[in-house]
Amino acid sequence: MAATTPSTCRVVLAANIAAPFIEEVKEYTKDKNAPLFVGFLANDDPWARQYAEQTGKTATDAGFTFELRVVDKEDLEEKIMEANVDESVTAMMVYWPVFGTQQDKYLQQCVAREKDVEGLSHVYVQNMYHNIRFLDAAQTQKSILPCTPLGVVKILEYLGVYNNVLTYGNRLYGKTITVVNRSEVVGRPLAALLANDGATVYSVDITGTQKFTRGAGIKKKKHEVEDVDLKLEDVAPKSDVIITGVPGAAYKFPTELVKEGAVCVNFSTEKNFDPSVKERAAIYVPATGKVTIAMLLRNLVRLYQNQQLVKGLKA
């Protein structure tokens, strides 16, 4: 019976969601001298190269100069340090993984925060967790958000999961969201961002489930986290939104746990949902990479603006 049910699911492609952001960036760059965006590729991962090429093409189309620097992993730190002090470089990113170990965390922090388009510098990440939007007390320099979690937020806004009738900062109020995978780069920051906007978020990982909420009172600056004794089968069926980011081709989210009419978003480079998800979900976003790239460019504009402000203060 299920196989013949006409699918009413709307599949939304990342390219469509990304388009208006790219237009916005173009509007901004049109009067500028194409700021230089440097990408560092220090691995042989074909997916990383593809991502690099896609970033380059999108960045160039949007009015930036993109330079892919292919370097040996042992030289990467030095090359980052050079770009940090090179005034011709506005922004940079690294295509991860490099070593695939904790050393990559070290390298992330070597990127000057003023040029960190990925938003992985500690101060940016900490500001995100604490819902702090500016770098300075005068609130002139915007803090940068990590590009992938930010992209997922923008996708949920596009899909109407954020409710504009509610106050800004509370537009996910009443929503239950399951995020599968609690990595430090995407899963955990994403859960925090969504909780900061009012959602009840279940973050499910092989190490267990955590519940992220904004806590009592609308004025709280930071989400609250508690360990909960719940499994995926307890939390997924009551979730309005299911977001997956599991690396590895073997993983498939169990379709039978998707609530009828749910919104399903996969930010893994692997297909975490089986095609059968379309028989239950109302909206399905199979990949988010192009939105992530749009967010890189959006961050780039902010970095550029922050740099101009700092230059202005010095002048």
Residue with tokens 């939007």: 133
Selected from 183, 213, 269, 307, the binder of a second copy by CB under 8 A is 183
Rounded CA separation 154/208 (Å): 27
Rounded CA separation 35/22 (Å): 15
Task: Cis check for the bond before 97: say yes or no (omega within 30 of 0).
Answer: yes
Q: Which is nearer to a second copy, 86 or 226 (CB)?
A: 226
Selected from 32, 105, 238, 311, the binder of a second copy by CB under 8 A is 105
122 near a second copy, rule: CB under 8 A: yes
9, 110, 147, 264: which is the annotated catalytic residue?
147
Selected from 89, 110, 282, 310, the binder of a second copy by CB under 8 A is 110
Binding footprint of a second copy, residue count (CB under 8 A): 23
Closest distance to a second copy from the beta carbon of 195 (Å): 13
Helices marked H in the chain: 14-29, 46-61, 76-85, 103-110, 122-129, 147-158, 187-196, 232-235, 289-314
226 near a second copy, rule: CB under 8 A: yes
156 near a second copy, rule: CB under 8 A: no
Closest distance to a second copy from the beta carbon of 99 (Å): 8
User: Which DSSP letter does residue 62 get?
Assistant: T
Quick one: which segment of 53-61, 145-153, 164-172, 223-231 binds a second copy (CB under 8 A)? 223-231
Closest distance to a second copy from the beta carbon of 225 (Å): 5
4 near a second copy, rule: CB under 8 A: no
Amino acid at 71: V
Closest distance to a second copy from the beta carbon of 119 (Å): 14
82 near a second copy, rule: CB under 8 A: no
Q: Where are the beta strands (DSSP E) in 223-303?
A: 224-228, 241-244, 263-266, 283-285
How crowded is residue 9: how many other Cβ atoms within 10 Å of its Cβ? 17
Burial of 159: CB neighbours in 10 Å, binned 0-12, 13-18, 19+: middle
256 near a second copy, rule: CB under 8 A: no
Rounded CA separation 243/15 (Å): 18
Contact 186, 148 (CB under 8 A): yes
Closest distance to a second copy from the beta carbon of 74 (Å): 5
Selected from 74, 82, 86, 136, the binder of a second copy by CB under 8 A is 74
Selected from 8, 50, 60, 109, the binder of a second copy by CB under 8 A is 109
Rounded CA separation 306/311 (Å): 9
133 near a second copy, rule: CB under 8 A: no
224 near a second copy, rule: CB under 8 A: yes
Q: Which is nearer to a second copy, 35 or 245 (CB)?
A: 245
Active site annotation includes 264: no
Rounded CA separation 281/272 (Å): 14
Closest distance to a second copy from the beta carbon of 47 (Å): 21
Contact partners, residue 208, CB within 8 Å, separation at least 6: 227
The backbone torsions φ and ψ at residue 264, rounded to the nearest 5 degrees and listed phi first, read -120, 125
Selected from 4, 101, 139, 164, the binder of a second copy by CB under 8 A is 101
Closest distance to a second copy from the beta carbon of 109 (Å): 4
| Binding site residues, a second copy, CB under 8 A | 74, 77-78, 101-103, 105-106, 109-110, 122, 125-126, 129, 183-185, 188, 207, 222, 224-226
**Residues with catalytic roles:** 147
